Amino acid sequence: MKLLSKYSRVHIITACTILLISSFAYYFIIRTILLKQIDKDLKVEEQEILDYVVANKILPHASDYKHQQIRFQKIKSSVAFRSTVNTMEYDAKLKEYEPYRRLSFPVRINNETYEASVYKSQVETEDLLQLIMLITAVLFIVLLSLIFIINRFVLGKLWQPFFNTLLQLKKFDLQSMQPLILTKSSIEEFEELNRSVTQMTDKVRKEFEILKTFTDNASHEMQTPLAIIRSKLDLLIQSSFETQVEQLQAIYNATGRLTKLNQTLLLLAKIDNNQYQKPEVVSLKTLLESKFQQFDELIKGKHLTLKYDLQEVCISINKDLVELLLNNLLSNAIKHNYQRGSIECILTAEKFLIANPGPALSFDSANIFDRFKKGSNSDGSGLGLAVVKQICDASNLPVSYFLLNDKHVFQISLAGKIR
């Protein structure tokens, strides 16, 4: 749920709760005030009746008006109590019961006790309460509408700098090396956020540039002495005694592996740094057929049988990366295969699969894509499958390994990449 939606929901729910509670409280307060006003009018009538009795020594005439009634009733008991209650009285004209407020009090004349009852209609009070509650309900709806409009437009505009910053962060690209340019805001908190984000991205850009420069420089500087060592070893091998040739050959091979290791580590660093970001539509069938021709000598040298079933499949991917991916998978299938073994390749719209028989793994298969993870009999660097995994991750191609019918199987899912 978006922040503004969440805030609006909480705000409206809170406002509704407060307004509902306030409305009930408001209703009872107004009703109490109106009842007190009726009671005050009843007291006035009471005082007028008592004054009339004192002055005339008789009871005033009973009356029955539209909103007020006065009644007298003789009682036997000499003790009577004053009371005020709500009651319902039948209206003969309207032929229905209506609410009244009744005040009863004792009146003594010539040693006789009467109960005087003054009735005051509450119809006008109830009508007034209904009108007040109707007005309150209208104000309630208007207020909620205003809150919704304010949350939707005014607050949305106030939060616009935050969304602009978020959009710029989504567009931020380390490869472009462009500084993050954020819109200035008059709101202090958003301005502080922009300053923090700018400082953070500037630091990330600088550290990325330092790392990239270091990787390039280290690779370049390592290649030069390695090239010198190899050239000198060539000369030594040609001119040395036979007893030294074997040792020099071992040194030569070691420098060759070091050169390859350096190139592979540089490749992994470039993939990590997203330096291969130009995808194009590549025909995997055409590329695989080309790779089969390139690896033909190695396949024949080990007397391997190549079986393949390739459908016409095109995907959007960086061409250099997919070539490296196929090179490593085919090289791995040849290197870790039996003499006179087989290689099986299947390409469909859903997956690419390559399988080969070979010695059992000497480590947990869950770690097969880890860097420098290799079998006990392997003379490689242990980075070939790590490169495969890195390329697949960078290209959003899920890759998996499993053992099926004593064959090592690598499968790459192509779902979502077909063009």
Interatomic CA distance for residues 265 and 271, integer angstroms: 10
Spatial separation of the C-alpha atoms in residues 249 and 79, rounded to whole Å: 133
pLDDT at position 246: 66
Cα Rg of the chain, angstroms: 48
Whether residues 21 and 66 fall in one domain: yes
Q: Are residues 232 and 285 in the same domain?
A: no
Question: Is 160 within the bounds of a domain?
Answer: no
Is 386 contained in some domain?
A: yes
Domain assignment present for 419: no
Residue 366 lies in a domain: yes
Instruction: Name the amino acid, one letter, at 148.
Output: F
Instruction: Assess if residue 164 is contained within a domain.
Output: no
CA distance 141 to 147: 10
DSSP string for 174-195: TTTTPPP-----SSHHHHHHHH
Mark whether 113 and 128 lie in a shared domain. yes
CB hemisphere CA count around 49 (13 angstroms): 27
337, 358 Cβ separation under 8 angstroms:
yes
226 lies in the same domain as 331: no
Same domain, 25 and 93: yes
**Residue 372 sits in the same domain as residue 290:** yes
Domain co-membership, 12 together with 89: yes
Residues 187 and 133 in one domain: no
Q: Which pLDDT value is given to residue 345? A: 94
Nearest 5°: CA angle at 75, between 70 and 80? 85
Tell me which DSSP letter residue 382 carries: S
Do residues 47 and 116 share a domain? yes
pLDDT tens-digit profile of 126-184? 788 888 888 888 888 888 888 778 777 777 777 788 888 888 888 877 766 677 778 78
pLDDT for 101: 87
The answer on 245 and 108 residing in a single domain is no
Domain boundary among 214, 243, 275: 275
Question: Do residues 180 and 196 lie in contact, with contact meaning Cβ atoms separated by under 8 Å?
Answer: no
- Is 209 found in the same domain as 87? no
Strand 280-283 relative to strand 68-75, pairing: unpaired
Residues of the chain with pLDDT under 50: none
Do residues 131 and 109 touch, judged by C-beta distance below 8 A? no
Let me know: does 251 contact 371? Beta carbons within 8 Å: no
Whole-number Å distance between alpha carbons of 192 and 366: 46
Question: What is the number of structural domains in the chain?
Answer: 3
pTM for the predicted model, two decimal places: 0.45
What does the pLDDT read at residue 208? 75
CATH of the domain at 287: 3.30.565.10
Rounded Cα gap, residues 251 and 257, in angstroms: 10
Q: Are residues 244 and 343 in the same domain?
A: no
| Phi and psi angles of residue 97, each rounded to the nearest 5 degrees, phi first | -85, 140
Domain end (from 218, 250, 275): 275
Q: Which tokens hold the place of 197?
A: 């984000």
CB 151 within 8 A of CB 7: yes
Q: CA-based angle 144:149:152, to the nearest 5? A: 120
Q: Quick check: 129 and 31 in contact, CB under 8 A?
A: yes
CA distance 284 to 397: 14
Among 155, 178, 210, the domain-final residue is: 155
In one letter, which amino acid is 177?
A: M
The answer to whether residue 162 sits within a structural domain is: no
The whole domain housing 300 covers 280-413
Query: Looking at the domain assignment, is residue 163 inside a domain?
Result: no
Q: Tell me the pairing of strands 305-310 and 342-347.
A: parallel
What letter would DSSP give residue 360? P
Number of residues that this document lists for the chain? 419
CA–CA separation, 254 and 247 (whole Å): 11
Q: What is the DSSP string of 277-318?
A: ---EEEEHHHHHHHHHHHTHHHHHHTTPEEEEEE---EEEE-
